[in-house]
Structure 1
Amino acid sequence: MKQPHPLLATWHRHLALERRRSAHTVRAYVASAERLLAFLARHQGAVPSTKTLAALPATDLRAFLAHRRAEGLGNASTARELSAIRAFLKFAGGEEATVPPIRGPRVKKGVPRPVSPDDVIALGEDVAENAAEPWIAARNWAVLLLLYGAGLRISEALSLTGSDVPAHETIRITGKRGKTRIVPLLPQVREALAEYAALCPYGTGKAEPLFRGARGGPLDPAIIRKAVREARRRLQLPERTSPHALRHSFATHLLGRGADLRALQELLGHASLSSTQIYTHVDAAHLLDIYRNAHPRA
């Protein structure tokens, strides 16, 4: 059995401990590095050394990307792979690294589409009504309200613990890269959390996960995604209606009501304002939809 390249373990530690990347990003970036190392071992006929990686020829990197494209990688996935590989080569080569200046494929940036407030409520009610038990109904309703009413990522909502209830007017959220932010909670969200906490048969220990699965373990986000998918089908809502779409809708609806872009950036926990600016395009697209549907000359 082949031993993994020693650089993979140090790359993993660098991403997880020094860069404080999310578990998902760490897995993806390490997998990209592992694929590159395996390809180079075949392509060059030897296990690549740190010196080899520091001066990797552009032809070899292009050959790797062509190999990945032949495996069926699309433009967006290829661009992400190239970004991960660039970061790895800089890390592996240190100060001596000269990363080939290869441009990735052009990726058309998608614009997230909001879900209407009425559809959000209908979705939440349907998910709750079709739950197996009352406490699960209360749990699902509370999770979805945190996504739409507070703009949380599903991972952020499911990271809450018993110490977060009873909820106050604001809540401290730890998001990507360990960045914390203060998020206000609407009365409806606080009430939903309180109802769930009162019904949960497993209690709400201060250091324990707040949201529990049917058997008492931490709630798997796949359970919420499945419940939303099934409700979407029953209600005949668009395919874009997903848990993450509720966070997009939170942002879009706030922007449409005059929210400041910088304030929205803080609420969403975006490190860069450019990540938030996409919602200006969302709002424009929404207005265009209304225009096309309502204007007699459209």
Structure 2
Amino acid sequence: MIKGHEAELFLEMLVAERAASARTLAAYAADLESCSDFLAMRGILPVDAKTDELAAWLADLGADGQARRTIARRLSCIRQFYLFLLREGIRKDNPAATLDSPRPELALPHFLSEAEVEALIEACHVQESDNTVAQKRRMLVARAALELLYSSGLRISELLSLPREALRGERPMLLIRGKGGRERLVPVSVTAWQAVKELYACDAWLESPWLFPGRDPKRALTRQAFDKILHEAGVRAGLDPTCLSPHVLRHSFATHLLARGADLRALQMLLGHADISTTQIYTHVQTEHLRRVVESCHPLAEGGGRKGN
């Protein structure tokens, strides 16, 4: 239970001025209570806290094993709390203003193995059990979409916004308009090209302007509808559907290319990243590869001892 009249006023302000939801209020109250309890153990009221005392609280959160993202969120709450006190004239300063947020954790992208991708795409081929026209078309959509996502590294928004005429040319290339209106050319694999042609022929009668039409042919397939298709493909492939997403396929595309020797700059262009620092997260693959090389080939590595004369 949150303690202190000032904290109650702060939470009331969140409701009145920001229309904060019950969930948001509960999160802010928990953050305030965490700080208040820490200070209370040292005989300090939150309204009287100093910068070094708040810094000690943050350090205690880190020592307790709390995630950096959680600590950053709690610091944001405390900053807003003291800014509120400053604006209300309850304090003359904001002791949390100069506190540094913890650097965000480097979240390595989740990706599938090459075998898992092959199994996922293979599961989308029409089978004997697909005995209705709708089910057969559903698998054509799944295979064409997954082939494109994996072979070209497209974002799901880029895929679903492709016009029907996107692959009508002679060259297996796609002109993609990505984030910020930036355009890039990406190659399309032979198998993806063939899968799209099959879908193209199947959907000719719809006269849709989209390569992947929705239930209403005048509209593109929605992200939610595609998620259901991907879920079904995962089940058919024997993969955990909860570990599948369009972004996982994009990560798999990038990871597998780097593992096979692709240049980081080329990968940046293919993914449509404005800054190469965004692409560099995939270098974890190269690091892991180098570690395995050393472990398997270095003469002093375990299992790779020097041969006797």
Which structure is larger by alpha-carbon Rg, 1 or 2? 2
Report if aligned partners of 1:40, 1:47 keep a CA contact under 8 Å in 2: no
Match of residue 104 from structure 2: 107
TM-score between the two structures when normalised by the length of structure 1: 0.62
Structure 2 counterpart of 1:269: 272
Alignment RMSD (CA, Å): 4.2
Mark the runs of 5 or more structure 1 residues left unpaired by the alignment.
1-38, 49-62, 87-98
Match of 1:150 among 144, 147, 152: 152
1:161-207 per-position Cα deviation (integer Å, ceiling 9, x unaligned): 123131532211011121111111122222221111110155455xx
Aligned 8 A contact 1:204 1:210 in 2 = no
**CA gap 1:233/1:107 in 2 versus in 1, 3 angstroms:** farther
* Structure 2 unaligned residues grouped into runs of 5+: 1-9, 19-24, 34-65, 81-95, 305-309
Name the CA distance, whole Å, in 2 between partners of 1:201 and 1:70.
60
Q: Which amino acid aligns with 1:210?
A: L
Q: Which amino acid aligns with 1:259?
A: A
3-state secondary structure, aligned to 2:243:
coil
Q: How far is the alpha carbon of 1:291 from its aligned partner?
A: 9.4
Alignment match of 1:116 (pick from 113, 138, 157): 113
The structure, 1 or 2, with the larger RCO (C-alpha pairs under 8 Å, 6+ apart) is: 1
Q: Which of the numbers 198, 222, 228 marks the counterpart of 2:230?
A: 228
Task: Go from structure 1 to structure 2 and tell me whether the alpha carbon gap of 1:267 and 1:110 turns closer, same or farther (over 3 Å shift).
Answer: same
Q: Deviations over 1:196-237 (max 9, x none)?
A: 1110155455xx222112443421122222232343345443
Aligned length, in residue pairs: 231
TM superposition shift of 1:77: 7.2
Alpha-carbon spacing, 1:251–1:166, altered in 2? closer, same or farther (3 Å): same
Distance between the aligned counterparts of 2:109 and 2:144, measured in 1? 23
Give the 5 Å matches for 1:23-42: 42=13
Between the aligned partners of 2:118 and 2:97, the Cα distance in structure 1 is 50
Match for 1:148: what amino acid? Y
Q: Would the alpha carbon gap of residues 230 and 162 (structure 1) be closer, same or farther in structure 2, given more than 3 Å must change?
A: closer
Q: Deviation string for 1:66-112 (max 9, x for gaps)?
A: 558479x9754775896xx99xxxxxxxxxxxx94553344321111
What SS is found at the alignment partner of 1:133?
helix
How far the C-alpha of 1:47 sits from its partner, in A, is 5.4
What is the CA–CA distance in structure 1 between the aligned matches of 2:27 and 2:135, rounded to whole Å?
Answer: 50
- Contact kept, 8 Å, 1:113 with 1:245, in 2: the verdict is yes
User: Offset at 1:282?
Assistant: 3.2
* Change in 2 beyond 3 A, CA 1:279/1:65: same
Matched, 1:172 2:143: no
- The percent of aligned pairs where both chains have the same amino acid is 37
Following the alignment from structure 1 to structure 2, what is the Cα–Cα distance between the partners of residues 80 and 271?
A: 27
**Aligned counterparts of 1:242 and 1:290: Cα–Cα separation in 2:** 31
Could you tell me how far apart the structure 2 residues matched to 1:230 and 1:255 are? 29
How is 1:1-298 mapped onto 2 (pairs within 5 angstroms)? 42=13, 66-67=28-29, 69=31, 75-76=68-69, 100-129=97-126, 132-167=134-169, 168-200=171-203, 202-205=205-208, 208-216=209-217, 217-237=219-239, 239-285=242-288
- SS of the equivalent of 2:100 reads coil
Distance 1:225 1:120 in 2: 16
Aligned AA (1:136): R
Return the alpha-carbon distance in structure 2 between the equivalents of residues 80 and 246 of structure 1.
30
